[in-house]
Amino acid sequence: MAMIWELVRNWNMQNRWESRWIPFEFEEKNFGNKSFYNTVCIEFVWEDVSGTLNGKISFRVSNNQKTYRVLKEINVNSENNRTNSYFLNIFYPSFQFFKVVYEPNGIANGRLSVGVLFK
């Protein structure tokens, strides 16, 4: 069974950021054949932190992309030159879409990468 890794975004953690709505199911077409993949894991990695980093990552889910529910909130706390990560495993999603929102609390430098694993 194939797995696909997609980097959703890599950005500076000083600023608030909100992803687009991403479908839990991914369809790939190759030479007339269709393959369907489901989201199984989302990875958050923050690195190159200078100063003390505080913030919150919200994982939101929706069926219509207008209303949403916060499924998980992750508090981000890190210090100088630390790399840290958080994995969020997805089991049998009952929603069609998800979105990631990062909200900083204070000013710090660093990068946050969000990746999705489809299987």
Lowest-pLDDT range, 23-32, 53-62, 70-79, 107-116?
Answer: 107-116
Question: pTM for this one?
Answer: 0.76
Mean pLDDT of the residues in the chain: 79
Distance in angstroms (rounded) separating the CA atoms of residues 113 and 44 = 6
pLDDT tens-place string over residues 51-75? 677 788 899 999 999 999 998 898 8
CB 115 within 8 A of CB 5: yes
- Model confidence at 19: pLDDT above 80: yes
Which residue pairs, CB below 8 angstroms and at least 24 apart, start in 6-11?
Answer: 6/115, 6/116, 6/118, 7/113, 7/114, 7/115, 8/100, 8/114, 8/115, 8/116, 9/100, 9/112, 9/113, 9/114, 10/111, 10/112, 10/113, 10/114, 11/111, 11/112
Helix (H, G, I), strand (E, B) or coil at 67: coil
**Two structure tokens written together for 53:** 């980093």
CATH topology of domain 4-118: Jelly Rolls (2.60.120)
